[in-house]
């Protein structure tokens, strides 16, 4: 069954005490039961945040990335196996900041996806076009290549572990949100290509999240669209009340 999911991507923010306070503050507020909440803190806080979340049903954690190797001499890297050993359920893969600043390609991301699946992590796979690609109209083609080159080698069973996050780069951290119609159009398209590659049931059951300057004043309208199953939230997830308002806007 497709779930509504709201993920807070804290990126490289917060000192340890602030991270602990943030998760505790969110969890002290009333949250809708039927929305899965996922916190994606820095990997050095993942163990602690996961321990706090483990006392709540429907509250989970994600790493913001994993290494493209499973173990070995890769100084500074964090592997899928390490993340899973903490009891963490998800990993984000392919965030546009990783694609841009660390030159992550669809081919490398495919390797990360396989390692996540091998280690029983669910994947929040990010895709989305630049402003230039949106304006030139090539965004459908670009998004299709991101998804097909990194995910469509998976069999049906493994594809069921994938959550897609559509994040137009021009909307991330810019305060410029994509309109509900623009997002719905792309989400519908993504569901269509999943149906074509797999089947209708996998397409219907795949949660497709939106990310890009989502906040309490636009989340209700976004989440009321048929094909928008939640959000990947950056900036607004650092404020407990804003994050909870977003979660509760379904």
Kindly state whether residue 172 participates in binding ligand PEP, applying the rule CB under 6 A: yes
- For position 212 contacting ligand PEP by CB under 6 A, the verdict is yes
Q: Is the Cα torsion angle 172, 79, 8, 5 positive or negative in sign? A: positive
Q: Within 10 A of 131 (CB to CB), how many other CB atoms are there?
A: 13
Say whether residue 242 binds ligand PEP (CB under 6 A).
Answer: no
Which 30-69 positions form the footprint of ligand PEP (CB under 6 A)?
A: none
In three-state secondary structure terms, 4 is strand
The answer for residues whose C-beta is within 8 angstroms of residue 168's C-beta and 6 or more apart is 128, 129, 134, 139, 178, 182, 186, 212
Residue 76 or 175: which CB sits closer to ligand PEP? 175
Question: Of 95, 97, 104, 184, which residue is the catalytic one?
Answer: 95
200, containing H or E segment: helix 200-205
95 is catalytic: yes
Q: Which stretch binds ligand PEP (CB under 6 A): 82-90, 130-138, 140-148, 165-173?
A: 165-173
- Give yes or no for residue 249 binding ligand PEP (CB under 6 A): no
CA separation (Å) from 84 to 20, 46, 79, 111, 186? 20, 11, 9, 17, 31
93 part of the interface to ligand PEP, by CB under 6 A: no
CB 212, min distance to ligand PEP, A: 5
> Residue 208 forms beta bridges with which residues?
164
Could you say whether residue 235 binds ligand PEP (CB under 6 A)?
yes
Q: Report the catalytic residues.
A: 95, 167
Q: Which residues bind ligand PEP (CB under 6 A)?
A: 9, 167, 172-173, 211-214, 232-236
């Amino acid at each position: 069954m497709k779930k509504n999911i709201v993920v807070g991507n804290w990126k490289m923010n917060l000192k340890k005490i602030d991270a602990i306070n943030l998760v505790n503050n969110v969890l002290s507020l009333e949250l809708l039961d039927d929305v899965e909440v996922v916190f994606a803190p820095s990997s050095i806080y993942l163990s602690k945040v996961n321990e706090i979340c483990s006392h709540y049903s429907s509250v989970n954690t994600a790493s913001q990335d994993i290494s493209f190797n499973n173990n070995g001499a890769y100084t500074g890297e964090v592997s899928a196996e390490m993340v899973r050993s903490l009891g963490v359920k998800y990993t984000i893969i392919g965030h546009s900041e990783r694609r841009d600043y660390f030159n992550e390609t669809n081919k490398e991301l495919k390797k990360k996806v396989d390692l996540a699946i091998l280690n029983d992590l669910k994947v929040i796979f990010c895709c989305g076009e630049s402003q230039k690609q949106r304006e030139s109209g090539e965004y459908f083609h670009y998004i299709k290549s991101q998804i097909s080159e990194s995910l469509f080698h998976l069999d049906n069973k493994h594809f069921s572990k994938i959550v897609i996050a559509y994040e137009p780069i021009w909307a991330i951290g810019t305060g410029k949100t994509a309109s509900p119609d623009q997002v719905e159009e792309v989400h519908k398209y993504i569901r269509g290509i999943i149906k074509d590659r797999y089947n209708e049931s996998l397409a219907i059951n795949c949660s497709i999240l939106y990310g890009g300057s989502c906040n309490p004043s636009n989340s209700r309208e976004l989440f009321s669209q048929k094909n928008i199953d939640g959000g990947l939230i950056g900036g607004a997830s650092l404020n407990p009340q804003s994050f909870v308002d977003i979660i509760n806007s379904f």
